[in-house]
C-alpha cells in the first residue's frame, strides 16, 4: 500500500498538463501564444487599458448625417409625369370665357313672373314661416309677397362661389408623357418639373387675353413620384396603409379638401406622399404605422440614389441630426436585428444571450452570464473576440492579420480582473453584435480535475484493500 501512494503522486504530476483532461477551452497563456504562429499573425491579442477603450469609443459609426451630408434641406417638390392634377379657374366677372351670363334681375316693384298663391292655398314646404323663420319685424310682409323673403335675406354666395363667381373645375388629369396637362383655351401646359404655383402662373398668362382677369389654382391630388416607400418591419398592413392620411398640402389635398391617402404596397409597407414643407424620417415612419419590433432591435436603412446606410432606430430617435429630410424616391426599410453575444468558459452561464437594450458593456454582458465562476475562472484570462475593421486595428497600433479578408481583422481583447481598474474599463468597453466572450480556467483546476479522476479510479481499489485487511478475504 505504501509504494502506491508516491506512485499516485508521480502520475498526478506527470499528467496534470495532459491535453486529454476535460476543459472548457485553452488556458490564457495558450491563447496569447496562438495569436502568432511561425511569423504568421492569426489574430491580435490586445491588453485592454484606458487608451484602448478611448480608441474604440472614438471610432466613427455609420451615420445618415455623415453619409448624406449634402442633402440636409427639405426637397423642392415638383410635379412629375404621372401625377394627377386638378385645376380650378376663376374670372373677375360673370359672362367671361369660363362663366355664364347671369339671368336678368327683376326690377323693384315689378310683377313677379309667377302668380302668388291663392289665399286659401297653403304655402309649400320650405316657404312656411315656421320653415323660413321671420323675414323681419313684420312676418306678414313675407306672406303678402307670395312667401318670398326680402332681397337682403337672400344668400350672396353659392357653394363654391366667391362674390357670386363660381370656379370652373377642369376634370382631374394625369400629367402626360410629354410632361404637360391640357387646359381649355390654353392648350398644353408644361407641368412636369414645375411647382403648382409656377403652373398656375403659366395658365393665367395663357388665358390673360381670353378670359376676364383669370385666376387659377393647381392642386396635385395624387403623386407616385413625390412619395417615399416605407418597407420592412413597419407596423402597417395593406388596409392600414390605405387609411393612412398624408399631411394636408398642395401636393396631397383632393379637390374636396380631404387629405389624399397613402398607397399600400401589397401589405409589405406603404408609399407616403411628401408635403411641400418637407418630411423627416421619423415623420414618414410614423405615417406608415411605426415599427412593429422593439426600438433596441430595430435598424433603419435609408436607400437614396444608389447609396445605402443603416443605423439603429434608437440613435435616430435620440439624435436629431440623424433625422434627415426624406426625398422623393427614397426607400426607408425597418430591419429587425436581434443582437446577441456568446459566452463560453468559466462563467456561471454559457449561452447565446440577447442584448435586450440599445447598447451594453462588457461588465453588463458578464453580469448577464452570471459572472466569473469563483472555483474555475482565471481572473487574468477573460477575453473578448471579434472582427474589427482594419482602420480600427491600425488605430490600436496593431498589425492586420496575415489572412484578413473583407477589410476586417480578428482581435482578442484581454482583461485582467485581478486589477480592480479593469472593472471600470469593462463598464465602458462596448460589446457588439456576435461578440464572443471566453473566460479561461485557472491552472489549479486541471490538477483538481486530475485528482478527482484518480480518486474515481483508485477509490474502489483502496476501499477493497481496507476491507480485506479487516476481514478474511
If DSSP codes are grouped into helix, strand and coil, which group holds residue 95? coil
% of the chain exceeding 70 in pLDDT = 69
Is-contact 333 299, C-beta < 8 A?
Answer: no
Could you tell me the CA-to-CA distances from 154 to 135, 148, 222 in Å, in that order? 10, 10, 38
Count CB atoms within 10 A of the CB of residue 252. Answer: 27
Long-range CB contacts (within 8 A, 24+) of 157-165: 162/90, 164/94, 164/102, 165/90, 165/91, 165/92, 165/93, 165/94, 165/99
Average pLDDT over residues 36-60: 95
Q: Fold identical between 28-60+340-447 and 227-336?
A: yes
Give the number of residues written for the chain.
Answer: 473
**Closest Cα partner for 44 from 371, 393, 279, 311?**
393
| Dihedral (CA of 150, 151, 153, 155) sign | positive
Q: Give 295-337 pLDDT, tens digit per residue.
A: 999 999 999 989 999 999 999 999 999 999 999 999 999 999 9
Tell me the helices (H) and strands (E) count for the chain, helix number first.
Answer: 14, 21
Lowest mean pLDDT, pick from 257-266, 378-387, 415-424: 257-266
Average pLDDT over residues 278-283: 92
Question: Is 433 buried (19+), middle (13-18) or exposed (0-12) by CB count in 10 A?
Answer: exposed
Q: In this model, does residue 262 exceed pLDDT 60?
A: no
Phi first, then psi: what are they for 449, rounded to 5°? Answer: -65, -40
Q: Which three cell numbers stand for residue 140?
A: 306678414
Residue 70 pLDDT:
76
In CATH, the architecture of 227-336 is Roll (3.10)
Q: Give 334-391 pLDDT, tens digit per residue.
A: 999 999 999 999 999 999 999 999 899 999 999 999 999 888 889 999 999 999 999 9
Q: Which three cell numbers stand for residue 239?
A: 388596409
Q: In this model, does residue 108 exceed pLDDT 70?
A: no
**Closest Cα partner for 332 from 309, 355, 352, 351?**
309
CA distance 123 to 411: 98
Q: Give 141-170 pLDDT, tens digit per residue.
A: 434 444 443 333 333 233 344 444 678 899
Residue 248 pLDDT:
32
Q: Give 52-105 pLDDT, tens digit per residue.
A: 999 999 999 999 999 998 777 888 889 999 999 999 999 888 877 887 766 666
User: Pairing mode, if any, of strands 436-441 and 340-345?
Assistant: parallel
Domain 84-97+161-222 classification at class level: alpha beta
Q: In this model, does residue 129 exceed pLDDT 60?
A: no
Q: Give 209-242 pLDDT, tens digit per residue.
A: 888 889 999 999 888 888 899 999 887 544 334 4
Is-contact 437 343, C-beta < 8 A?
Answer: yes
Lowest mean pLDDT, pick from 66-70, 126-130, 198-202, 370-374: 126-130
Q: How confident is the model at residue 250 (pLDDT cuts 50, 70, 90)?
A: very low
Domain ranges of the chain: 28-60+340-447, 84-97+161-222, 227-336
Between 25 and 319, residue with greater pLDDT? 319
What's the mean pLDDT when you consider all of the chain? Answer: 78
Residue 151 pLDDT:
37
Q: In this model, does residue 447 exceed pLDDT 80?
A: no
- The topology (CATH level 3) of 28-60+340-447 is Outer membrane lipoprotein wza fold like (3.10.560)
| Dihedral (CA of 51, 53, 57, 62) sign | positive
pTM: 0.67
Q: Which three cell numbers stand for residue 393?
A: 486595428
Average pLDDT over residues 261-278: 65
Amino acid at each position: 500500500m505504501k509504494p502506491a501512494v508516491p506512485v499516485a503522486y508521480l502520475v498526478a504530476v506527470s499528467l496534470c498538463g495532459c491535453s486529454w483532461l476535460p476543459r472548457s477551452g485553452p488556458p490564457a497563456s495558450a491563447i496569447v501564444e496562438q495569436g502568432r504562429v511561425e511569423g504568421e499573425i492569426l489574430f491580435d491579442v490586445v491588453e485592454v487599458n484606458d487608451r484602448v477603450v478611448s480608441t474604440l469609443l472614438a471610432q466613427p459609426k455609420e451615420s445618415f448625417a455623415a453619409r448624406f451630408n449634402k442633402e440636409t434641406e427639405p426637397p423642392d417638390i415638383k410635379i412629375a409625369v404621372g401625377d394627377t392634377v386638378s385645376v380650378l379657374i376663376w374670372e373677375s366677372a360673370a359672362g367671361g370665357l369660363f362663366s355664364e351670363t347671369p339671368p336678368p334681375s327683376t326690377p323693384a316693384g315689378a310683377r313677379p313672373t309667377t302668380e302668388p298663391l291663392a289665399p286659401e292655398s297653403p304655402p309649400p314646404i320650405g316657404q312656411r314661416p315656421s320653415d323660413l323663420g321671420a323675414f323681419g319685424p313684420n312676418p306678414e310682409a313675407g306672406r303678402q309677397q307670395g312667401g318670398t323673403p326680402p332681397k337682403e335675406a337672400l344668400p350672396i354666395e353659392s357653394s363654391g362661389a366667391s362674390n357670386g363667381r363660381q370656379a370652373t373645375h377642369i376634370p382631374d388629369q394625369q400629367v402626360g408623357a410629354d410632361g404637360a396637362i391640357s387646359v381649355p383655351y390654353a392648350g398644353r401646359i408644361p407641368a412636369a418639373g414645375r411647382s403648382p404655383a409656377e403652373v398656375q402662373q403659366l395658365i393665367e398668362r395663357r388665358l390673360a387675353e381670353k378670359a376676364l382677369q383669370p385666376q387659377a389654382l393647381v392642386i396635385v391630388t395624387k403623386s407616385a413620384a413625390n412619395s417615399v416607400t416605407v418597407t420592412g418591419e413597419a407596423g402597417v398592413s395593406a388596409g392600414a396603409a390605405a387609411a393612412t392620411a398624408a399631411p394636408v398640402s398642395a401636393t396631397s389635398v383632393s379637390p374636396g379638401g380631404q387629405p389624399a391617402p397613402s398607397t399600400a404596397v401589397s401589405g409589405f409597407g406603404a408609399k407616403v406622399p411628401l408635403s411641400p414643407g418637407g418630411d423627416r424620417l421619423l415623420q414618414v415612419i410614423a405615417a406608415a404605422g411605426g415599427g412593429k419590433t422593439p426600438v433596441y432591435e430595430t435598424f433603419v436603412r435609408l436607400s437614396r440614389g444608389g447609396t445605402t446606410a443603416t443605423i439603429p432606430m434608437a440613435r435616430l430617435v435620440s439624435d436629431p441630426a440623424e433625422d434627415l429630410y426624406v426625398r422623393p424616391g427614397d426607400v426607408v426599410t425597418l430591419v429587425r436585428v436581434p443582437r446577441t453575444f456568446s459566452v463560453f468558459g468559466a462563467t456561471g452561464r454559457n449561452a447565446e444571450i440577447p442584448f435586450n437594450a440599445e447598447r451594453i458593456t462588457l461588465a453588463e454582458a458578464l453580469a448577464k452570464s452570471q459572472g466569473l465562476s469563483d472555483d474555475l475562472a482565471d481572473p487574468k484570462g477573460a477575453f473578448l473576440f471579434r472582427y474589427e475593421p482594419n482602420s480600427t486595428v491600425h488605430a490600436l497600433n496593431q498589425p492586420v492579420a496575415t489572412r484578413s479578408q473583407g477589410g476586417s481583422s480578428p482581435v482578442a481583447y484581454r482583461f485582467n480582473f485581478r486589477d480592480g481598474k479593469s472593472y471600470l474599463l469593462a463598464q465602458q468597453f462596448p460589446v457588439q453584435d456576435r461578440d464572443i466572450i471566453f473566460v479561461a480556467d485557472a491552472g489549479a483546476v486541471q490538477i483538481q480535475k486530475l485528482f478527482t479522476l484518480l480518486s474515481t479510479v483508485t477509490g474502489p481499489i483502496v476501499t477493497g484493500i481496507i476491507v480485506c485487511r479487516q476481514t478474511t478475504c
